[in-house]
Structure 1
Amino acid sequence: MKKSLFLLTIILWSCANVFAQEELPHHYSKYNLEIKTNANKSGTQEASEVVTEKGATWLRLYFEEVELGANGKLTITSLLDGATQTLTANTLKEWKNSTAYFNGDKVRVTLTSGAKSGAIRLKVNELEVGEKSSTKTQCGSSDDRRASSDRAIGRIMPIGCTGWIIRNGKLVTAGHCATSRAQLIEFQVPKSNSGGSVVHPGPEDQYPIGNFVTEYTGASTDWAVFTASANSQTGKTPIQAQGKSYNVVQSNPGSTIRITGYGVDTGRDNQTQQTHSGPLSSSTNTFVRYRTDTEGGNSGSPIIDEASGNAVGVHGYGGCSRSGGSNYGVRATVSNFWRAMGLSGGGGCSDGDQVNVTFRNSTNCSLSFYRNGSSQFTISAGQSRQVSTTVGTNWQARNSGQNVDSFTINCNSTTYTASGNCGGSGDICAGVAPWRSGVSYSAGDRVTYRGYLYEKRSGRGWNRIGRCGSRALTESVTEGVVETEAFENQKFTVAPNPVAGGEIEIFLPPTVDASYEIIDLLGKTIQKGSAENTINVSGLKRGVYMIKISSEGKNQIQRIIKK
């Protein structure tokens, strides 16, 4: 009997560990470096040292004996990509005497003392050192996850779980991720290195994690709710900076479930944000089960009802196979989970809760938007604007003091569109702003350009709606760009340039349909694609490149710098 019980214990332990979340490959290394400035009577003093750990894919520093004084500051700079974090005595406490994650194996640590201040000092006593990633296997016969860029979903480090923002600004992950190694949450995560070792975003997209609320003892209680401090560089909280959050509901999920998170993978996709949707298998008051691809690292991902876009729970476990089974997580109907999120009712939010919404002006004139009768801002015809407001507030869209449309903010909608005709001359271009280089336009946005009204498509390109001065939309098209102006007469812009992050954007007027190539100084094409899309350049090494834009057999070339 004892032998049978022993064997059963081993089997259960082994099964549990199939699903256990592993930390990202790393180790800790003792370090002994003191940095200090001299006392000064005028001006400022600086002291700087380079911290090196050969072979590291990334570094995080830990300090002791910190004495920054009232005006001193600490600056850490990656020597690989130039990413920088500046900390004061107060913000260093929030970071628990540690830094953000920095890519590469070398960082410069600089102490700067204020004028007429005493000496400031600290010791670097430990390094967290990133290692090259190992390859994991995918549950099922194929991995159908695809790259995504959901701003509300972040990567928790160094444990490598997923976390996400809810409407009231709190964050959610799986209970088994709420350990001492869940220290930071990162957003806008770039692609990993070719060998699979992770690459970190800049310090401006990393947030120290505060307190966890969880009752984790097993699968049925595998949820955690937590907070994150404001960013040391921007002063913004995750919901303020990302401008997106999830509405959590207790209603029954639909037939299709989406999981988005930072699961392990091979090569540059490893622990980067990917998404997949699959059929719902079953739903109880405790669990949601689904045939949606996940991997280790997806633990903590939102379980998203594809039809509504609402979150219905938190993902925690794998269980699918080639022939059956399902992955699953805890549903938001678990009462203590719901209470920990601080949500009331069953809809995921209630009157007074803060939400981020988008107002879109689809009329032919500029509109002034009023909240509860008080003027807030103006949106040009065909344009949109994202704002932070509260559930239950009333908004009106007005032209010359006359109501054109009105809305009441609720839990189920994130976009509110003012439509209709404002009267007047009937000119379809009336109130529509001209196209401007350097502006990133979204689907549905309208601009005027060279005497015509254009509307941005959901995919590539623009639809030409009609000629300015006309009273009706007589020239509406659904595909193709109607008229392409001579390419050599139009100039493109690239932003940002130099680029230190993972993306650049190509800005071209509506009439141009073009492609791009990035070419190194030896003339080799590094990557190419559509010039209409945001271009991921995280894989480029530091240096100077040429970007060539081609249309109708003609080319334009500009220089770009990767920092």
Structure 2
Amino acid sequence: MNHGLQNPPVSKLLAVKSLAPAVLAAALGLALPAAAQTAPAPLKIADVRAVDLQLGAQPGRVGRAGVDAGAKAVEIRTPDASFIKVHFEHFSLPAGVTLEVASPDGREVYRYSADRRDGHTVAADLGEDGKTRFSAMSISGPVAVLRLVGAAREPWRADHGIKVSRYLEGYPEDMLPELQNEGLLSTDAGGKSICGTDNKQAAACYVTSDPFAYARSKPVARAVMSGGSLCTAWRVGAQNRMFTNNHCISTAAGVAGAEFWFNYQRSTCTGAQATVTKVAGDQMLKTNTTLDYTLFTVKNFASISGFGYLGLDPRAAVANEGLFIAGHPGGRMKELSIADTQNSGGKCRADAPSVTGNAPNSDVGYYCDTEGGSSGSPVIARSSGKVLALHHFGGCFNSGAKISLIWPQVSTYFGGVIP
């Protein structure tokens, strides 16, 4: 059984590529960018789609105790979508029966049953309780296959079954640059974060030419929130600790409803997508609006331990010291801001060691290129390889909140020892 897109289909993006921005915005149901604003909004890279699926209630699909439940699979198939994330409006299965949510090739498989829950997210702001209402981890690509497998060890009750009322559909990857350039992924004037020529490149382009920066980009992840918005996040220390912006995620529900994709990058400079490791958010530890940070943990931390961590450099920036930024500008696969044609050295640097962000002298200013989606990115000091600022504003100067101000507020979550 296949279920297509509604209001409008993802494939419609490709059909309207040549339209003027105002027409394109109307066709996609997106707002045109407003005037530049102080507080940016997270980038939008997916839409929530309505669907009406039920597994377990139909005669013949599942049935008596001891009878195999996996005779039929249900597909959610959405042409051109970059990922599909399924929400369970109701989830209740008898012992012995498992729901598999998988990609057609079986590379991604998540299993959910009465006594097992693989990776999943719980967005309380969407009415999810983590028991009968939650969301499966996203499946990359345009097809998610749902299949009930196993043999029931108890009778099927009236409340047993699965209802899917909506799913999150990612915009096509190859359309993200154009949509971002037209300002259709955000209500912000994100183009003003490109200072002069856009010098960002895919992270893998620096494997040989700047192996230090490439290696330090590994702890950086794509943050995908429950409503389809996107920012950047990163591992802070050896413990289960991650940072992003407060304007990206500011509540416990926001953390628990988000996914974090590690190694979401090209395998080579112009190559295909590398193998991605996805984890769900767990607990919010600390957040602050003025310094625009959220410190949080993730589930299944062991699966991302191999990506390493960045550490913190809580000191005053030195004028013209070397910097670079790793993140997911425009929602794209990981990119590095290293080159900078706005200064004579040709490299990113601390052009203004102290500028006003949300408070006087709260930020470090730089001309390193960023875009919507870069929010939450680490601004890394070339001298230490550790994070000197947390990027959050564009405007040329672009700027990040000083880690020297953030650290005193979060030090207790690291036992007082700077990672």
TM-score range, shorter chain: 0.5 to 0.7
Q: Deviations over 1:226-275 (max 9, x none)?
A: 11111xxxxx53542x34011113123451111100002xxxxx611111
Aligned to 1:45: 69
Q: Is the 8 A contact 1:286 1:333 kept in 2?
A: no
Inter-partner Cα distance in structure 2 for 1:283 and 1:330: 11
Which of 269, 284, 289 is the equivalent residue of 1:212? Answer: 284
Is 2:377 the partner of 1:301?
yes
Quote the offset at 1:109 in angstroms: 0.2
Query: 1:452-491 maps to which residues of 2 (within 5 A)?
Result: none
Distance 1:62 1:91, change over 3 A: same
Quote the offset at 1:94 in angstroms: 4.8
Distance 1:108 1:215, change over 3 A: closer
Quote the offset at 1:99 in angstroms: 1.7
Quote the offset at 1:340 in angstroms: 6.4
What is the number of residues matched between the two proteins? 309
State which structure, 1 or 2, has the greater radius of gyration over its C-alpha atoms. 1
Q: Is the 8 A contact 2:94 2:152 kept in 1?
A: no
Quote the offset at 1:73 in angstroms: 2.1
Distance 1:190 1:274, change over 3 A: closer
Aligned to 2:219: 152
Q: Is the 8 A contact 2:119 2:137 kept in 1?
A: no
Q: Counterpart of 1:252 in structure 2: which amino acid?
A: A
Distance 1:152 1:335, change over 3 A: closer
Query: 1:249-288 maps to which residues of 2 (within 5 A)?
Result: 249-254=313-318, 255-264=321-330, 271-277=332-338, 278-284=348-354, 286-288=362-364
Query: 1:64-79 maps to which residues of 2 (within 5 A)?
Result: 64-79=89-104
Aligned to 1:143: 198
Inter-partner Cα distance in structure 1 for 2:37 and 2:383: 32
Inter-partner Cα distance in structure 2 for 1:101 and 1:94: 9
Q: Counterpart of 1:143 in structure 2: which amino acid?
A: D
Q: Counterpart of 1:140 in structure 2: which amino acid?
A: C
Q: Counterpart of 2:149 in structure 1: which amino acid?
A: T
Structure 2 unaligned spans of 5+: 1-33, 57-61, 123-133, 182-190, 204-213, 339-347, 355-360
Q: Counterpart of 1:22 in structure 2: which amino acid?
A: L
Q: Is the 8 A contact 2:64 2:152 kept in 1?
A: no
Higher relative contact order (CA 8 A, sep 6+): 2
SS in 2 for 1:20: coil
Quote the offset at 1:293 in angstroms: 1.6
Inter-partner Cα distance in structure 1 for 2:138 and 2:273: 9
Q: Is the 8 A contact 1:239 1:245 kept in 2?
A: no
SS in 1 for 2:37: helix
Identical pairs, percent = 18
Inter-partner Cα distance in structure 1 for 2:242 and 2:51: 33
Whose helix fraction is larger, Structure 1's or Structure 2's? 2
Query: 1:156-305 maps to which residues of 2 (within 5 A)?
Result: 156-157=223-224, 158-167=228-237, 168-178=239-249, 180=254, 183-191=258-266, 205-217=277-289, 220-230=290-300, 236-237=301-302, 239-240=304-305, 242-254=306-318, 255-264=321-330, 271-277=332-338, 278-284=348-354, 286-305=362-381
TM value normalised by structure 2: 0.65
Q: Is the 8 A contact 2:38 2:393 kept in 1?
A: no
Aligned to 1:59: 84
Q: Deviations over 1:291-313 (max 9, x none)?
A: 21211111101121111101123
Distance 1:331 1:160, change over 3 A: same
Q: Counterpart of 1:257 in structure 2: which amino acid?
A: L
Q: Is the 8 A contact 2:95 2:152 kept in 1?
A: no
Q: Counterpart of 1:135 in structure 2: which amino acid?
A: Q
Q: Is the 8 A contact 2:284 2:296 kept in 1?
A: yes
Inter-partner Cα distance in structure 1 for 2:327 and 2:412: 20
TM value normalised by structure 1: 0.50
Quote the offset at 1:318 in angstroms: 1.0
Q: Counterpart of 1:297 in structure 2: which amino acid?
A: G
Q: Counterpart of 1:123 in structure 2: which amino acid?
A: K
Q: Is the 8 A contact 1:288 1:329 kept in 2?
A: yes
Aligned to 2:136: 99
Which has the larger displacement, 88-97 or 149-158?
88-97
Q: Is the 8 A contact 1:59 1:101 kept in 2?
A: yes
Quote the offset at 1:200 in angstroms: 9.3
Structure 1 unaligned spans of 5+: 1-12, 193-197, 231-235, 265-269, 321-325, 350-563
Q: Counterpart of 1:256 in structure 2: which amino acid?
A: G
Q: Counterpart of 2:258 in structure 1: which amino acid?
A: Q
Q: Is the 8 A contact 2:366 2:399 kept in 1?
A: yes
Aligned to 2:41: 20
